[in-house]
Structure 1
Amino acid sequence: MINTENDKVEIQDLHLQAFGEEEGPVIEKMTAEFLLLPETISINVYRGLRIAGNILFSPFKLDDHPEKKCFLLAPLGVLPEHQGTGIGKELIEKGVYYLNHIGADAIFVLGHPSYYASRGFVQAKVLSPHHELMKHPEAWRMLEVKPGSMEGIGGASVAAEPIMDPMFWDTSGRPE
């Protein structure tokens, strides 16, 4: 999952375009910060010679269960001209395959509930960082990579620094 410097610039630009004028600059900055962290897992999908989609996974810590190997999915971006063509699904599948290969227990995501539910994510019992800002808790989802590994697991959590800003966890302005 090594990206060249050119890839990093292309990935940042992809997220800028994917998230549009309003959210794009913030997501681009967060992406750049994630790509500086050696523990970030970056997966690309190509169409021709161009990166058409990118997904990042970063370590996600469970306060009461430090032995669990969990990851946060954020962000997932697809170039506007390729949105709706299955690239997002392909990125998630590649990510799950890779994380299974490295022995991950679970993936967490804050995203559109029906989209992630259709990809096998269920409502998470682990509290999200800044959970007090979660006006739409159904958007906080989890996928067991290792079946049964999250049975009975709850408690608080901490994400990697680039996404710990409370603004990323405030769902009050998001549609239901």
Structure 2
Amino acid sequence: MTSKEQRIRNLHLEAFGDTEGPIVSELAGAFLSLPDSISICVERGDKEIGNIIFTPFHLIDHPDKVCFLLAPLGVLPEFQRQGVGAELIAKGIAHLKSLDADAIFVLGHPRYYALRGFEPARVLSPYHEVMTHHEAWKMLEIKPGSMSGAGGTSMAAKPIMKREFWDTSGRPS
């Protein structure tokens, strides 16, 4: 593991706190080890204060679509609620546009992501049968019209293809 990867893992550990931090940090580390992962940081001065990771996301019924899963997005506690998350998402969208990507998918806070242009996903999430808060499953079309008619099932990168990551029953809506 590189020192940058360790800094990113530590950032997510701190951003998500004692309960979720260790799990998210480990997931971030696993994603960073994948060759097609995209990691973007925001800095203030010489300090990394936020990070977002995108991994390839496959639509089983539409293999021609170039999609990514946004997970995780972490901001150090002292910089939260200052627009850093929105800045990370904007940088991510710009980068994925340059790659000619079709869409971004995310399982996250419904209102937060709706404010950033994400809409209800028309594609089923992995382990959709354990998702009780369907409004948390969102999609942002990067290439206008590219997701028209897209639906069916999906598959994420191996580190997040575990049932417990998709079970929303214990999370607030």
TM-score (ref. length: structure 1): 0.97
User: In the TM superposition, what are the counterparts of 1:24-173 in structure 2 within 5 Å?
Assistant: 24-173=21-170
User: In the TM superposition, what are the counterparts of 1:3-42 in structure 2 within 5 Å?
Assistant: 5-42=2-39
Q: CA RMSD in A?
A: 0.8
Aligned residue for 2:85, secondary structure, equals helix
Q: Which runs of 5+ in 2 are unaligned?
A: none
Alpha-carbon separation, structure 2, partners of 1:161 and 1:24: 20
Aligned residue for 2:54, secondary structure, equals strand
CA-to-aligned-CA distance 1:126-153 (integer Å, 9 cap, x gap): 0000000110000000000001100111
Please list every run of at least 4 consecutive aligned residues from structure 1 whose deviation after the TM superposition is greater than 3 angstroms.
none
Alpha-carbon separation, structure 2, partners of 1:152 and 1:18: 37
TM-aligned CA deviation for residue 6 of structure 1: 1.5
Alpha-carbon separation, structure 2, partners of 1:48 and 1:169: 36
TM-aligned CA deviation for residue 52 of structure 1: 0.3
CA-to-aligned-CA distance 1:95-135 (integer Å, 9 cap, x gap): 00000000000000000000000000000010000000110
Alpha-carbon separation, structure 1, partners of 2:141 and 2:93: 9
Alpha-carbon separation, structure 1, partners of 2:124 and 2:118: 15
Alpha-carbon separation, structure 2, partners of 1:120 and 1:130: 24
Alpha-carbon separation, structure 2, partners of 1:30 and 1:155: 26
Alpha-carbon separation, structure 2, partners of 1:38 and 1:44: 17
Aligned residue for 1:42, secondary structure, equals strand
Q: Percent identity?
A: 61
Aligned residue for 2:144, secondary structure, equals coil
Alpha-carbon separation, structure 1, partners of 2:18 and 2:162: 20
Aligned residue for 2:41, secondary structure, equals strand
TM-score (ref. length: structure 2): 0.99
CA-to-aligned-CA distance 1:65-122 (integer Å, 9 cap, x gap): 0000000000000001100110000000000000000000000000000000000000
